[in-house]
Chain A
Amino acid sequence: MPLSKRIIPCLDVDNGLVVKGIHFSDVKAAGDPVKMAEKYTEQGADELVFLDITASQEGRRTMKGVVSNVANVVNIPFTVGGGIRNLEDAREILRSGADKVSINTAAVKNPALVTELMEIFGRQCVVVAIDAKCISPRHEIKGEKRNSLNSNGESDDRYEVMIYGGKKETHLDAIQWAREVEGLGAGEILLTSVDADGTEDGYRIDLTNLISNAVRIPVIASGGCGKPEHILRLFKETDADAALAASIFHYDKYTVDKVKSFLQGSGITVRI
């Protein structure tokens, strides 16, 4: 039996409560993080990701409490990201009970942080989140749906790394950045398509392939999941190791175990 593909519910936490944003804004309230973590664990989630989207200092302190409360009840791994700026922030989150930290803006601003975290906590603790936005010209042509493919049948799309929750450009190329963070010591890449996030019309297959073919560390795909078929397509057509999803689970549209049985029935190796 090979390594299983992972299903990872993602919980965006604002001031201690789980919310789900559309396109990184328009926040809707959804629930208690500890209760939701327990529910997903019982349903067979393989991991959990908590993204702290709080802006205030007080909200950050609340997050540490959330992390230790979650660590008290769940017996599966979980990652915490959002607002981790330096080594001390990361240490506090890991000390509170998280298994991994995910860094994004901080990694772009201070790439040495990735190496520092790897040297102290080990590569497996360091997830670098990459928010990628397509900047190919075709996206400026309204109604144009054809993929731009080169002579090898590969996508010619270019993707730019975005920071500050998908709002600010960096002029970094997503593929080069993925290779760079791998070299710096990242253990995993959490890849979010800024264009797909919140749309529920499916993961970006081209983007996921571009990144997962560029590195030899696991890639978690995120952004756009609206139904189990999207996860199936992701695993059939890309080398992604894990699928991150939020809204399909939060509003009880689907349970993790139902999604996994569906995937298993379609030939995907999952933990059941």
Chain B
Amino acid sequence: MLRIALFDYGAGNLYSLRAALERNTGVQTSIISKLKNIRDYDGLILPGVGNFDPAIISIGEDKELFTKAVKDKIPILGICLGMEMLFNRSEEGKLDGLAILDGQVIMLNKKLTKIPHIGWNTLKIERNGGKLLDGIPDGSWVYFVHSYRISPNDNGMVTANSEYGITIPAAIEIENLYGTQFHPEKSGQTGVIIIKNFLNICREKQ
């Protein structure tokens, strides 16, 4: 049995993500609000719903445990806000991010496009998509809802981009860290494959 933890910021919908994970056989998900027993899990997901500062506050004292989990090479998938939190800081909040990855989170350009970026957009696969986007063809449609984008210092981690007035990094992959700006749990059949890929990554590390 693959044990996946979903971190709960107290901000909303984890249900659909959990349902999406449990549609796969042999997966047991736990919704956790503390990271202290993180070693009990084969993978961790930071979901995508909420606001930057309240989400950072909810991790609070567990920040160090989280950093340790990263060093222990537990596969971690950050979705939308969950990915943005991995960086140094965000224009959405005043608090520091988890600073596990170097870079900023900046607001989409209001002058160029409507904000939030809501809806289905296509992926331009970079670096063959890495493990997370394995089997996802260039041009696949995925579902976005966000107002901010990541700007990593090292663009080498970006495995897919999307165009919305500007180029938006849509997926990243670096060592045991994976992230998507879009919501795989809401991205139809493409999302189903991405979630399967993450579960396979966790299985390999098990």
A interface vs B, CB < 8 Å?
A: 1-4, 6, 41, 46, 68, 71-72, 75-77, 91, 94-99, 118-125, 187-188, 216-218, 241-242, 271
Known: A1-B139, A77-B145. 13 other contacts (CB 8 A): A3-B117, A3-B121, A71-B13, A75-B191, A76-B186, A95-B13, A97-B13, A122-B11, A122-B49, A125-B49, A216-B110, A217-B114, A218-B119
**Residue of B at shortest CB range from A187?**
B116
Which residue, B51, B146, B191, has most C-beta atoms of chain A within 10 A?
B51
Look across to chain B and name the residue whose beta carbon is closest to the beta carbon of A97: B15
Determine whether B87 belongs to the interface, using a CB cutoff of 8 Å to chain A.
no
With contacts A4-B120, A76-B143, A271-B120 taken as known, whether A241 is within 8 angstroms of B114 at the C-beta atoms is yes
Q: How far is the CA of A2 from the CA of B165 in the complex (A)?
A: 8
Shortest B121–chain A CB gap in Å is: 5
Per a CB cutoff under 8 Å, which of A76, A120, A188, A271 touches B118? A188
Q: For residue B163, which residues in chain A have a CB less than 8 angstroms away from its CB?
A: 1-2
**With known contacts A1-B122, A122-B81, A218–B114 Cβ distance under 8 A:** yes
Number of interface residues of B (CB under 8 A): 38
Please judge, given known A-B contacts A75-B186, A216-B110, whether A124 and B19 are in contact too, CB under 8 Å. Answer: no
Complex interface: chain A residues within 8 A of B156 (CB): none
**A-facing residues in B84-129 (Cβ within 8 Å):** 110, 114-122
A123 lies within 8 A of B116 (CB): yes
How would you classify the secondary structure of chain B's contact residues: helix, strand, loop or mixed?
mixed
Our pick among A46, A94, A124 for the contact of B145 (Cβ within 8 Å) is A124
Q: Which residues does B use to contact A, with CB under 8 Å? A: 11-13, 15-16, 19-20, 49-51, 54, 81, 110, 114-122, 139, 141, 143, 145-147, 163-164, 183, 185-189, 191-192
Most chain A CB atoms below 10 A, which of B16, B147, B163, B187: B16
Across the interface, which residues of B come within 8 angstroms of A68, CB to CB? 15
- Top 6 closest A-B pairs, CB basis? A97-B15, A124-B145, A94-B12, A271-B120, A271-B141, A1-B122
Q: A122-B50, A217-B114, A218-B114 are in contact. Are A95 and B12 (CB under 8 A)?
A: yes
A71 pairs with B115, CB closer than 8 A: no
Structural contact, A125 and B12, CB atoms closer than 8 A: yes
Please indicate the chain B residues that have their CB under 8 angstroms from the CB of A71 in the complex: 13, 15-16, 19
Cross-chain pairs A/B with CB under 8 angstroms, 17 sampled: A1-B139, A3-B119, A6-B119, A71-B13, A75-B189, A75-B191, A91-B12, A99-B145, A118-B51, A122-B81, A123-B147, A124-B147, A125-B13, A187-B118, A216-B110, A217-B114, A242-B119
Contact of A241 among B119, B139, B143, B145 (CB under 8 A): B119
For B13, the chain A residues whose CB sits under 8 A away are 71, 94-95, 97-99, 125
Q: Which of B12, B20, B54, B145 contacts A75 (CB 8 A)?
A: B20
Q: Which of A4, A41, A98 contacts B121 (CB 8 A)?
A: A4
Cross-chain contact of A218 among B116, B121, B143 (Cβ < 8 A):
B116
A1 to B121 alpha-carbon distance, docked (Å): 8
Contacts of B119 in A (CB 8 A): 3-4, 6, 46, 218, 241-242
- How far apart sit A1 and B146, CA to CA, in the bound complex (Å)? 18
Q: Which of B11, B12, B146 has the most CB of A within 10 A?
A: B12
Interchain nearest-CB distance for A103 vs B (Å): 15
Contact residues in A for B185 (Cβ distance below 8 Å) = 75
Is B186 touching A99 in the complex (CB atoms < 8 A)?
Answer: yes
Closest to A100 in B: B145
Q: Is the CB of A241 within 8 A of B118?
A: yes
Selected contact of B120 from candidates A3, A75, A95, A124, CB within 8 Å: A3
User: Which of chain B's residues have a CB closer than 8 A to the CB of A41?
Assistant: 188
Which chain A positions have C-beta within 8 A of B143?
76-77
Check B188 against A76 for contact (C-beta < 8 Å): yes
* CA gap between A143 and B191 in the complex, in Å: 51
C-alpha gap A94/B9 in the complex (Å): 13
A216 touches B114 (CB 8 A): yes
Contact, CB under 8 Å: A99 / B16: yes
The smallest beta-carbon distance between A127 and chain B, in angstroms, is 10
Min Cβ gap B50→A in Å is: 5
Output the least CB separation between A191 and chain B (Å): 14
Partner pick for A216 among B51, B115, B121, B191, CB 8 A cutoff: B115
